[in-house]
Chains A and B, each alone.
Chain A
Amino acid sequence: MKIAFRLNGKQIHIDAAPDRRVVDVLREDLGMTGTKESCAAGDCGACTILVDGESRLSCLMLAVQLEDRDITTIEGIAEGEQLHPVQNAFVEHGAVQCGFCTPGMVLASVDLLNRNSAPSRDQIREGLSGNLCRCTGYQMIVDAVEAAAEELRDRQES
């Protein structure tokens, strides 16, 4: 079926089976492999995307659910070469190791900071507890989200 939605700020039209998983639409049909797949069961968060600004799991979403939605993937949050503050903080604070959880973790963090601009470390941990990482032990991810929150608040004020 024909499906129309916004992807990373651009209106697009696709032709896909209504029950095709969104992660397959993104990775296989549109070639956007920044969205990762790891468990295919909604347990790990690697395939996180933003749907109308809120984090959702693209392995549990079907193509038909994209209709009229505003979808953001990891490819869509930097402005050109200018990294999003969350991406920048992940780089600077050592939150990236193998990097396979990173796209989902970054988008989940963006969503978290949209809902809470000044989370405590415990709130960050809780907010990201749906996204598994096997490399970092999470501490530097928490550091990065704290730093990004501060940067985003500074930008808001100025």
Chain B
Amino acid sequence: MNDQNFDNKNTSFSYLESRPLHIGASVPRLDAYEKVTGKEKYAADYYGENLVWAGVKRAGVPHAVLRGIDFSSAVKVPGIVRVLTHEDITGSNRQGVIRKDQPVLVNDKARHCGDAIALVLADNKESLKEALDLIVCDFEPLPGVFDSEQGLRNGAALVHEDNADGNRLLKGEIKTGSGSDAYKECDVIVEACFQTQSQEHAYLETEAGWARLLANGKLEIVCSTQTPFRDRMEVAEALGLDPTLVRIIAPYPGGAFGGKDGVTVQTLLGLAALHSGGRPVKMWWNREESFVSGTKRHAALMYYQLGAKADGTLHFLDVRLYFDTGPYDHLGGVVLTLALEHAGGPYRIPNAQLTGWAVYTNNPIGGAFRGFGVTQVTAAVEQVMDMLAQKLGMDPVKLRLKNATKRGDRSCVGKTMVCSNGLVECLETLSKHDLWKQADDWKSSAGPFKRRGVGIAAAMQGSGYGPVVPDYANAKVELTSDGKIRVYCGVVDMGQGNASTNLQIAGSILGQESGQMELVLPDTDRTLPSGSASASRCTYTFGNALIGAAETLKQRILQRAADLFMASGPHEMALIPGSVRHLPTGREVPLFRLVKFFQDSERIAVHHFRAPVAADNIGVSPEIKLHGLPHTLFSFGACLAAVEVDELTGAAEVKRFLAVSDCGKVLNPQIYQQQIHGGIAQGLGYALSEKLEVEKGRILTTGFSTYIIPTASDVPEIDSIAVEIYEPTGPFGLKGVGEIATNGPLPAVANAVADALGIRVFESPLTAERILEAFASNGRQESSI
């Protein structure tokens, strides 16, 4: 690794059995081979000779003025290379995507327990730990803000004194139709308040990276990230460097789910490498540090009123959302805005008053997490839909079908839905499934002290960046000098499988099998800027760019081969694995020979794609528009949870789960199902067991023995059905599948518990304690049916 000529590798698949790469086929993921043998090198796997270990002294207090840092004892520990503080940073010392409000190293005050105070460089892990323990911070404690509603009140402690809006990061307000006045025109109104918790991403690979400063001044950072191109700019600005001298290399992350959408270790590593005397530097947060310092799904408080006509036609929605964004703008305003856009679910609701606040607090940082605000509001709206169905005496599927948006309808923010919309097909497929049709039989066969319920939920998920921030990708495909096809991936594959799908797309267009393909993972020096791995956009946006690049290269190859064969044109030529064939005569030229007739400049094709945006002006403020509202492309889904509750313990167990989703055409059924299954498992953890205990800004659950993510025994058998509606703007008709599945489990489970017990638990996760308490306070007899 200390080789000055170190280069990000090209992955070849020629040693494997070559496979055809057809669109629509379940081609096993090409990254799986190296992962299953332990050969794949993650950011956490970089070491090297003469390595320096870098570690961070964390604040450990939620809100306090930093009066001084005493590291005089720490520097005396044998093996310590340097101790760095904010005084060693020559750049802005600020990070963030929209508001740059997070210090790399604290210079004024700590705003949450995970704030970085000092950076220690050591020869080994043992010295590093000892030195970190010896650093003493002189803090003057400040009163904190630990509740988003309270944070908005007059007199609340201020997290950022320089923010003109107090603790308000963003307020969003949307009114459609006659807004709240439509209340009077309803025959039925239901009202509820829901509270959803912070959720930990809990990726298996904690935040990790490796960096070095080359003699020519270039800073190379290998890191576990979703956003290499954005990281480069953030690192450069925070450290005062020329961005062209920063190179970010992004191996496959060991999971990310939104928690690596932005800087984690990158700037700290860069700073360390600037002071390590040319030695390579490694940083790898331990699990506790990942819990304390990493971002979380925003905890949310959501007040809902939903009104309908007597026949079940939705007429009015009033929503107030309070999102706890913690101390820094880790996309909190964007998360809130997406929540507002989806607050009414995938339904036609002509009159709406939607208001939301993203609020600064001294709790852990709220940030991006698969679903991105949609998960919270879906939990709320899908439960009030069931409450409404009950009040109307209507079947919950029929109520949803009656109000489901179709293409051409307006969403609850007044946006005309122009993309393909398979919501009705999803709901109808669900209603014809045995798990729904035979629900009554299943429920009535519960054993002693058990009660069973079946709940459903529908969802939609917008994809991409919205109307202002350009959602683009630049694909690059190369015919290598030895006749292989090399795909340069600009978007990170954090596990969702897009790198392999990219090979499938390029391979299918260029007629090549896996053995002829090569892959380059994202690298700011080798691949082209293509945005973040987020927002269900990866294969939609990059795939569209890749089709353009692969088609260009294909035409170039066919034309050159036609010229060689003196054929009448490229239409007489066809690409086959490893060769080009002249169709009228059957003669072939292998690609490794044909490439000799290419100049280097011709061997590479690039193509830029920018995702379409909403054309309609729905009258929202420029600020809300900047934060991404409205979207134009949506995926849809409906799901069902069959739940058994133990009357004695309150424990709820999901016995079966059904998901029906419209994510457009499926390019690879196996990868599609992986995304659906994984989203459901995370959603079930959110529904039942993942309870981040936070007491006055301190996380009490900092490991997997106290923060319980689902195991193989906790996730039921899942039925997943794709409703494949062709999306005309998508690559081969595809829409995003990354997030939709994670939205339905919580409301479906909550609706199933309500169905089983006749009571509703309004706060998630639905732990045994909460269910038992609700059950007991409701009175056993009263709730008996």
Contact = CB atoms under 8 A, between A and B. Distances in A.
Interface string B712-749: 11010110000000000000000000000000000000
Contacts of A14: none
Nearest to B720: A139
A129 B712 contact: yes
B682 interface: yes
B38 A103 contact: yes
Contact of B718 (A87, A96, A128, A139): A139
Contacts of A90: 32, 36
B255 interface: yes
A75 B497 CA distance: 23
A151 B673 CA distance: 24
Given A31-B47, A97-B678, A99-B36, A46 B204 contact: yes
Interface stretch (B386-394, B702-710, B753-761): B702-710
A81 interface: yes
B29 A96 contact: yes
Nearest to A46: B204
B67 interface: no
Given A44-B704, A74-B37, A139-B718, A94 B254 contact: no
A103 B39 CA distance: 10
Contacts of B252: 98-99
> Which secondary structure dominates where chain B touches chain A?
loop
Contact of B31 (A39, A74, A96, A125): A96
Contact of A126 (B35, B206, B713): B713
B677 A139 contact: yes
Nearest to B677: A137
Interface in B185-216: 201-206
Interface string B677-700: 111111000000000000000000
A44 B710 CA distance: 11
Contacts of A81: 15
B598 interface: no
Contacts of A43: 703-705
Contact of B38 (A28, A37, A73, A98): A73
Nearest to A42: B705
B33 A98 contact: no
A83 B34 CA distance: 11
Given A38-B206, A98-B494, A100-B204, A136 B36 contact: no
- Most central of A41, A75, A135, A138 by chain B CB within 10 Å: A135
Given A44-B204, A96-B29, A100-B254, A140 B677 contact: yes
A40 interface: yes
Contact of B674 (A32, A35, A94, A132): A94
A63 interface: no
Interface in A73-108: 73-75, 78, 81, 83, 87, 90-92, 94, 96-103, 106
A139 to B, nearest CB: 5
A99 B32 contact: yes
A81 B16 CA distance: 8
A43 B704 CA distance: 6
Contacts of A129: 711-713
Contacts of B497: 97
Interface in B272-291: 286-287
Interface string B4-33: 000000000001000000000010110111
A36 B36 CA distance: 12
A contact residues, range = 35 or more
A21 B606 CA distance: 48
Contact of A139 (B28, B32, B287, B715): B715
A132 B45 contact: no
A36 B254 CA distance: 10
Interface residues of B, number: 57
A94 B540 CA distance: 21
Contacts of A27: 45, 47
A124 B32 contact: no
Given A38-B287, A83-B36, A135 B255 contact: yes
A102 B682 contact: no
B704 A87 contact: no
Contacts of A132: 202, 204, 704, 709, 711
A77 to B, nearest CB: 9
A141 interface: yes
B681 A136 contact: yes
Nearest to A145: B712
B37 A78 contact: yes
Contact of A34 (B37, B203, B257, B287): B37
A87 B16 CA distance: 14
Interface string B490-529: 0000111100000000000000000000000000000000
Contact of B704 (A41, A74, A97, A126): A41
Given A92-B28, A139-B717, A140-B673, A100 B203 contact: yes
A133 interface: yes
Contact of A100 (B42, B496, B674): B42
A155 to B, nearest CB: 19
Contact of B257 (A40, A121, A134, A140): A134
B40 interface: yes
A100 B681 contact: no
B610 interface: no
A141 B717 CA distance: 12
B206 to A, nearest CB: 7
Nearest to B681: A137
A99 B497 CA distance: 11
A129 B708 CA distance: 12
A142 B681 CA distance: 14
A120 interface: no
Given A94-B671, A106-B36, A134 B255 contact: yes
Contacts of A74: 36-38
A33 interface: yes
A91 B495 CA distance: 14
Interface of B: 15, 26, 28-29, 31-33, 35-42, 44-45, 47, 201-206, 252-257, 286-287, 494-497, 670-671, 673-674, 677-682, 703-705, 709-713, 715, 717-718
The 8 closest A-B pairs by CB, nearest first: A34-B38, A100-B254, A98-B495, A99-B35, A137-B677, A137-B681, A74-B38, A43-B704
11 contacts: A31-B47, A40-B287, A90-B36, A91-B29, A106-B36, A128-B712, A129-B713, A134-B204, A136-B681, A137-B681, A139-B715
Interface of A: 27-28, 31-41, 43-44, 46, 73-75, 78, 81, 83, 87, 90-92, 94, 96-103, 106, 121, 124-126, 128-142
Given A32-B38, A134-B204, A136-B678, 5 more contacts: A41-B704, A91-B32, A134-B257, A139-B718, A140-B673
